[in-house]
A and B are shown apart, each in its own frame.
Chain A
Amino acid sequence: MTTAVSAKDFASDQEVRWCPGCGDYAILKAVHKTLADLGVPRERTVFVSGIGCSSRFPYYMSTYGFHTIHGRAPAFASGIKLANPELDVWVVTGDGDGLSIGGNHMMHVLRRNVNLQIILFNNEIYGLTKGQYSPTSRKGTRSPSTPMGSVDNPVSACEFALGAGARFVARSIDTTMPDLVHVLERAHQHRGASFVEVFQNCVVFNDGVFDGFTAKATASEMQLHVEHGRPLLFGRDGARGLRLRPGSMELEVVTVGDSGATLDDVLVHDETNKIMAMMLAHLEPPAHPIALGVIYCEPAPAYDDEVYAQVSAAGTPTDDIDALIRHGRTWTVEG
């Protein structure tokens, strides 16, 4: 076993070639730290990516890596897990790779619940192809392909994942190292498909697109860090909270102590509750804070485990080819 003790032991000797200031650097660092904290063996770890800026990721890891084709990383990763379920597989993808050209594979890897981790770098733009709007770009995004602003509605990555049947859905921000590491560790711990959306700032083509909840001035007011069993509180002094609007099925922001709202009115996060997860994933600034952390975690049997349970149930392994080809009706012609 290859022993790796520190975060830098997970870095490869390749020069990292993202733009200076790209959020990918911070995510790379967080992943290195996560793997070091987890103490995973490098030789059993595989990073699989598609195409896009984020998909260069495997080259910067000292683990095994497979830089594949656009959108298909979940399919390659599924094959790797079916070939050898002992491998620890991470899929690195982006909003274009994972939700546009590869949206179908994303849906199926999640609903099958293949035991792997998916990190989706969402920068709401196509970076590598020079700045076209992406499936997560907000309506009206001006880009080389939409000079008058995009007219199509964006997809919400976490809502998509929940809709596809993901059993682990979490969200974080590129530069918030401790939170991101925590979420990635939880993702690794979950047996099944773990989906992590990371808001990643593209300094060249979409700089500041997440400022509404990541800038210093807005962060504490607009970020809701959810934690299982803890009330859904946010704001500078934790005074604001989310409750179910009476007589409806939607969340509303209240200030504890104002207009008769008490701490008891504030919902307590239950990460096993899918309805709550859907409502949290749906929250959008500026009307609501953005939900970060482990939004949903409700484990179910993993696909690769179930496939191999069937393989075991099918009978004792054999390589008796002779018996195989003689099975059924045969006849002999005498010499």
Chain B
Amino acid sequence: MGIQAPHSAGRETRDSVVIRFAGDSGDGMQVTGSQFTVETALARNDLATFPDFPAEIRAPAGTTFGVSAFQIHFGKIEILTPGDEVDVLVAMNPAALMVNLRDLRPGGLVIADTGSFTERNLQKAGYRANPLEDDALAPYQLLKLDVTRLTLDAVAPFKLGQKDALRCRNMWALGLMLWMYGRDRQATLEQLAKKFAKRPEIAQANIAAINAGHAFGETAEIGEGFPAFNVPKADLAPGTYRTVSGSEAMAFGLIAGLKAAGLKRMLFSGYPITPASALLHTLAGLKPYGVVTFQAEDEIAAVCAAIGASYAGVLGVSASSGPGVALKTEALGLAIAAELPLVLVNAQRAGPSTGMPTKTEQSDLYQAVYGRNADSPLVVLAAATPADGFEVALEAVRLAVTYMTPVMLLTDGFLVNAAEPWQIPDVGALPAFPVRFRTDPHEFHPFLRDPGTLARVWAVPGTPGLEHSIGGLERDHDSGHISYDPENHQRMTDTRAAKIAGIADDIPLQRVAQGDERGKLAVVGWGSTFGAIAHGVRDARAQGYDASQIHLRYLNPFPRNLGELLRGFEAVLVPELNTGQLVTMLRSTYLVGAEGLNKVTGRPFKSTEIADAIRARLER
């Protein structure tokens, strides 16, 4: 037959590519995407990922609401977002095509498994006719492959049952995509051998499926329209890198904080909730690092146990998502009143109520800053990227133990699950902020304060001579005893506020991430919108628009220079995945005419949405 490898002569070069793997929630799309990510990182591309999966663990097969997807954006250029538009959509069934086609750019490539485009699956996905057979996909390139049959052929020697054999389809598709972008397969083959060590026939079959997909690309006559690509190495700063998800980065940051504080133990206390549980899972495997994890009976118990642990002299940490944080609110008030350190991570998700647990949103900022009874200030920080979780978690620990205060750390479903390359920091250069427990009984009382930080002493049970009681009742500023004295309550309320406000003097001044410190438009964001805003501002600036990017890590208190900085711009635009929370805070704090750019679809901003908004404002 003389099958030619039409592309062996050379590959087309691309600066960056966006691929989305989409299939049924049982099709293994997250594993496929994660392995493609590993191989891409090892190929030295910069990258960002976006896992997007349904809340249902195994929704009925073939339905649109059961579609699970994993998007990866990689390239030789700096990659800031998982990508606005998809270049290549791998659709493992009709439902995956139905749900994801809207994000494919015109002219983009659809790779469809024809074996799954059966009458029944088409019907379940809501197709009246097979889109692979009519002109529904005319604006795109289409590569029809019977991945199902090709996989079954490839794994036939291993005599698996039909179900296990079909489960190898994702690996066949992965093999093809690894070939198409010239990635190595080695890390994946090792991973499979390790994962299925106890079932070697499954490992062998999966490996055979990858190799078959790869070989198909190399040898089959796919056609001139479907070349292979070369995405050159990114120009990353020198150093050692790894990929890291938001949860991993945060777990590492908390442990680094534990060490920097000189504390011997952390109690991480959580209750299962999407999307926060990943942090509990990660830390549960890190016991030798001084971590004790506790799966409590409910959200309230989880935070109470963490506060109890801080009272007893270790670092108390808890994590949840908005609805769980709501349940923890009363206990946060106690931590504020008793002035105990605590780190509480909120992996935000779309709400209100149960909302959309696996979809991202930034709508808990008010809850974090204002959402408690009484005047009860605490510190609020937000991570901007998955890797940023490391530094922010470390900073959360520093502020919690230095100021004897709860710190709320905001992430979201997108940040927690997404991954990116991370330049491994020099551990020796990390800050140290050793805790000094009070041990001296002389003139001790539990609300003695450091005159600089206003933090009270940390006096822990087990210390002779410091026996005392604390609690939620208002206490005398001087003795710590229960006090209903009017002036004392005024004084204590003022002190609690001043302590948190004073942290503004102990955090970096707000910098401009891109652009000038004065000008026509400041685009101010916080949290996981960093990448999309950076990309949007970059594009707008490249077109000559005078826009600067300001991205906030510190949301309470704000950096000392923020008001002045904002007033240096003619206009302020605040993109947020909520209906306008930071924008309200900025307007009320600084009396600036900030304007919101808001979206609550459960999906991240696209950079084009930011760039378009910038242009619209500056062209008025």
A82 within 8 A of B: yes
Q: Could you count the A-B residue pairs with CB atoms below 8 Å apart for me: how many are there?
A: 209
In the complex, the answer to whether B287 meets A42 with C-beta atoms within 8 Å is: no
B334 within 8 A of A: yes
A61 within 8 A of B: yes
Size of the chain B interface, CB-CB below 8 angstroms: 71
A321 to B290 Cα, complex, angstroms: 11
Q: Which B residues touch A86, using CB under 8 A?
A: 462
> Can you list 25 A-B pairs, Cβ within 8 angstroms, ordered by A?
A14-B481, A43-B463, A43-B464, A47-B469, A59-B482, A67-B470, A67-B472, A67-B473, A68-B471, A75-B308, A76-B308, A78-B301, A78-B305, A79-B269, A80-B312, A82-B305, A83-B292, A104-B301, A105-B304, A316-B288, A321-B252, A321-B430, A332-B240, A333-B238, A334-B238
- The smallest C-beta distance from B253 to any residue of chain A, in angstroms, reads 10
A324 within 8 A of B: yes
Known: A66-B471, A67-B471. A325 touches B427 (CB 8 A): yes
In the complex, the answer to whether A314 meets B294 with C-beta atoms within 8 Å is: no
- Interface 1/0s, chain A 31-49, versus B by CB < 8 A? 0000000000111111111
In the complex, the answer to whether B306 meets A79 with C-beta atoms within 8 Å is: yes
Which among A63, A108, A330 has the highest number of chain B CB atoms within 10 Å? Answer: A330
- The smallest C-beta distance from B342 to any residue of chain A, in angstroms, reads 11
- Interface 1/0s, chain B 324-353, versus A by CB < 8 A? 000000110110001000000000000000
- A residues 161-178 near B (Cβ < 8 Å) are none
Binds A, one of B38-46, B48-56, B152-160: B38-46
- Interface 1/0s, chain B 456-481, versus A by CB < 8 A? 00001111111111111100000001
Binding site for B on A (CB under 8 A): 1-2, 12, 14, 41-49, 58-59, 61-69, 72, 74-80, 82-84, 86-87, 104-105, 107-108, 307, 310-311, 314-319, 321-322, 324-326, 328-335
Q: Which B residues touch A12, using CB under 8 A?
A: 469
Q: Which B residues touch A59, using CB under 8 A?
A: 469, 471, 482
In the complex, the answer to whether A75 meets B314 with C-beta atoms within 8 Å is: no
B580 within 8 A of A: no
In the complex, the answer to whether A58 meets B471 with C-beta atoms within 8 Å is: yes
In the complex, the answer to whether A80 meets B470 with C-beta atoms within 8 Å is: no
In the complex, the answer to whether B472 meets A69 with C-beta atoms within 8 Å is: yes
Closest B residue, CB atoms, query A61: B469
Task: From the candidates A14, A79, A317, A331, name the one contacting B288 in the complex (CB within 8 A).
Answer: A317
- The smallest C-beta distance from B231 to any residue of chain A, in angstroms, reads 16
B569 within 8 A of A: no
Known: A331-B42, A334-B238. A321 touches B255 (CB 8 A): yes
Which among B38, B288, B290, B482 has the highest number of chain A CB atoms within 10 Å? Answer: B288
Q: Which A residues touch B41, using CB under 8 A?
A: 329, 331
Binding site for A on B (CB under 8 A): 38, 41-42, 44, 187, 236-243, 252, 255-256, 259, 265, 267, 269, 286-290, 292, 294, 296-298, 300-302, 304-314, 316, 330-331, 333-334, 338, 390, 424-425, 427, 430, 460-473, 481-482
In the complex, the answer to whether B461 meets A319 with C-beta atoms within 8 Å is: no
In the complex, the answer to whether A326 meets B240 with C-beta atoms within 8 Å is: yes
Closest A residue, CB atoms, query B390: A325
Task: From the candidates A78, A319, A325, name the one contacting B294 in the complex (CB within 8 A).
Answer: A78
Q: Which A residues touch B265, using CB under 8 A?
A: 83
Closest A residue, CB atoms, query B252: A325
Q: Which A residues touch B288, using CB under 8 A?
A: 314-318
A311 to B306 Cα, complex, angstroms: 18
Task: From the candidates A43, A87, A321, name the one contacting B256 in the complex (CB within 8 A).
Answer: A321
Known: A84-B313, A315-B287, A315-B288. A65 touches B469 (CB 8 A): yes
A113 to B455 Cα, complex, angstroms: 36
- The smallest C-beta distance from B268 to any residue of chain A, in angstroms, reads 10
In the complex, the answer to whether A79 meets B471 with C-beta atoms within 8 Å is: no
Known: A43-B466, A84-B313, A330-B241. A321 touches B305 (CB 8 A): no
A256 to B611 Cα, complex, angstroms: 94
- The smallest C-beta distance from A35 to any residue of chain B, in angstroms, reads 12
- The smallest C-beta distance from A164 to any residue of chain B, in angstroms, reads 11
- Besides A64-B469, A78-B305, 12 other A-B contacts (C-beta < 8 A): A42-B467, A43-B466, A64-B461, A64-B467, A74-B301, A75-B300, A79-B308, A80-B311, A83-B311, A83-B316, A318-B288, A325-B242
Task: From the candidates B241, B311, B330, B460, name the one contacting A332 in the complex (CB within 8 A).
Answer: B241
Known: A69-B330, A321-B255. A1 touches B467 (CB 8 A): no
Q: Which B residues touch A46, using CB under 8 A?
A: 312, 461
A104 to B327 Cα, complex, angstroms: 14
Task: From the candidates B239, B243, B289, name the one contacting A324 in the complex (CB within 8 A).
Answer: B289
Task: From the candidates A49, A76, A319, name the one contacting B305 in the complex (CB within 8 A).
Answer: A76
Q: Which A residues touch B463, using CB under 8 A?
A: 43
- The smallest C-beta distance from A236 to any residue of chain B, in angstroms, reads 44
Known: A75-B304, A321-B259. A43 touches B287 (CB 8 A): no
Task: From the candidates B269, B312, B331, name the one contacting A84 in the complex (CB within 8 A).
Answer: B312
A211 to B318 Cα, complex, angstroms: 46
Q: Which B residues touch A62, using CB under 8 A?
A: 467
A332 to B243 Cα, complex, angstroms: 12
Known: A59-B469, A80-B461, A321-B256. A87 touches B312 (CB 8 A): yes
